[in-house]
């Protein structure tokens, strides 16, 4: 599908749950989410119907996200069925990796080609602090299991938070020497209602790059990331700059939330519900959502927060 600004929309981000076993401070509240909304969530069959509708419109890539997809009891079935939809050539998954050690092989067998792992720090105390409950060793074991499971690629995503992990940029980047992984630094996005981080927390990806004097540009394309490489590294460093250098001109995606709302833009309130629809109705709703995609989102900064009417765990990142 081509949107009103000539962008090809070929990528669906499918959030399969709002629930998570962690509580990252920039993503969701400490008390978690209200589980009473269960009957408002998409069923597995509705998710697959939505993926079929997307494929019928020419979309070929699906990222399974959440919340934490690996807390969803039927996650393997969802992955297997998404990967089997005719026209879907890339099924990938984003996880916090704390349960990945148990799931990596089965996910690979279910047809997941690549995994993105979120990891903001290599310090166990800091990890417990930022996730409000996580155990760093579990995430590291998950990453090692993913490397053993034979995915086409494993990427590590770190949210840059000034005063929290900016001093770890060189150590996180050095993971590309230790493992065949890409490490991507993502600017912290100011989500609505999230008042935990002050101005100093919002640091630019270029500031991270300045801490990597040996990094050289790589003329490869990786979606919205600018790529660099350290000498002797097995993978790339990526910089993703939604604040300092927004990449709306290259936006190729639609989002579908776990409660069945299509989001034309991550940072807009606009949503279209597909809950209870037939495949044809979902396809029509997707056409409308693509037609509604704005040229770009409003500026983001500490004082200009995202207009999304949801927390990140309710969107899928």
**Interacting residues with ligand SF4 (CB under 6 A):** 20, 22-24, 27-28, 66-68, 96, 118, 312-313
Q: Which of 94, 39, 91, 28 is nearest to 66 (CA)?
A: 94
Minimum distance from CB of 68 to ligand SF4 (Å)? 5
- DSSP secondary structure of 241-268: -TTTT--GGG--EEEE-TTSEEESSTTS
Residue 23: name its binding partner from ligand SF4, ligand SAM, none (Cβ under 5 to 8 Å by kind). Answer: ligand SF4
Note whether 243 and 189 are within 8 A (CB): yes
Residue 191: name its binding partner from ligand SAM, ligand SF4, none (Cβ under 5 to 8 Å by kind). Answer: ligand SAM
Residue 16: name its binding partner from ligand SF4, ligand SAM, none (Cβ under 5 to 8 Å by kind). Answer: none
- In the complex with ligand SF4, the residue whose CB is nearer, 57 or 186, is 186
- In the complex with ligand SF4, the residue whose CB is nearer, 138 or 144, is 138
Residue 310 to residue 205: CA distance in whole angstroms: 24
Among 17, 94, 121, 141, binds ligand SAM (CB under 6 A): 94
How many C-beta neighbours within 10 Å does residue 171 have? 12
Phi first, then psi: give them for residue 50, nearest 5 degrees: -65, -40
Residue 198 to residue 147: CA distance in whole angstroms: 36
Strands (E), the chain: 11-15, 61-65, 90-95, 114-118, 153-160, 182-187, 216-217, 226-229, 237-240, 253-256, 261-263, 272-273
Among 3, 18, 46, 68, binds ligand SAM (CB under 6 A): 68
- In the complex with ligand SF4, the residue whose CB is nearer, 260 or 317, is 317
Among 1, 27, 169, 243, binds ligand SAM (CB under 6 A): 27
Minimum distance from CB of 267 to ligand SAM (Å)? 11
Minimum distance from CB of 88 to ligand SF4 (Å)? 23
Residue 159: name its binding partner from ligand SAM, ligand SF4, none (Cβ under 5 to 8 Å by kind). Answer: ligand SAM
Among 17, 131, 141, 157, binds ligand SAM (CB under 6 A): 157
Phi first, then psi: give them for residue 93, nearest 5 degrees: -145, 145
Which residues between 179 and 208 bind ligand SAM (CB under 6 A)? 186, 188-189, 191
Strands in 11-15's sheet, in edge-to-edge order, are: 216-217, 226-229, 237-240, 182-187, 153-160, 114-118, 90-95, 61-65, 11-15, 253-256, 261-263, 272-273
- In the complex with ligand SAM, the residue whose CB is nearer, 189 or 289, is 189
**Residue 66 binding ligand SAM, by CB under 6 A:** yes
């Amino acid at each position: 599908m081509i949107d009103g600004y000539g962008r090809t929309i070929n990528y669906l981000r499918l959030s399969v749950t709002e629930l998570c076993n962690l509580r990252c401070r920039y993503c969701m509240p400490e008390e978690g989410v209200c589980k009473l909304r269960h009957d408002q969530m998409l069923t597995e069959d509705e998710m697959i119907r939505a993926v079929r509708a997307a494929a019928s419109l020419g979309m070929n890539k699906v990222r399974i996200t959440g919340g934490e997809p690996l807390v969803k009891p039927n996650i393997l079935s969802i992955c297997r069925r998404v990967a089997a939809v005719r026209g879907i050539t890339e099924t990938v998954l984003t996880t916090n990796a704390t349960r990945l050690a148990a799931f990596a092989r089965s996910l690979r067998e279910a047809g997941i080609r690549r995994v993105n792992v979120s990891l903001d720090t290599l310090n166990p105390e800091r990890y417990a602090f930022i996730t409000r409950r996580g155990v760093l060793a579990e995430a590291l074991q998950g990453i090692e299991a993913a490397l053993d499971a034979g995915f086409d690629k494993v990427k590590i995503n770190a949210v840059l938070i000034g005063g929290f992990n900016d001093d770890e940029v060189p150590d996180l980047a050095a993971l590309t020497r230790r493992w065949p992984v890409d490490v991507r630094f993502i600017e912290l996005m100011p989500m609505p209602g999230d008042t935990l981080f002050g101005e100093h927390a919002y640091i630019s990806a270029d500031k991270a790059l300045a801490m990597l004097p040996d990094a050289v540009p790589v003329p490869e394309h990786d979606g919205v990331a600018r790529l660099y490489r350290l000498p002797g590294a097995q993978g790339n460093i990526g910089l993703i700059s939604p604040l300092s250098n927004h990449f709306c001109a290259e936006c190729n995606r639609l989002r579908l939330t776990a409660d069945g709302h299509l989001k034309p833009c991550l940072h807009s309130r606009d949503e279209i519900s597909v809950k209870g629809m037939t495949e044809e109705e979902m396809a029509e709703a997707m056409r409308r959502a693509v037609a509604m995609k704005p040229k770009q989102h409003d500026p983001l900064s500490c004082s200009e927060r995202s207009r999304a009417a949801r927390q990140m765990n309710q969107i899928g990142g």
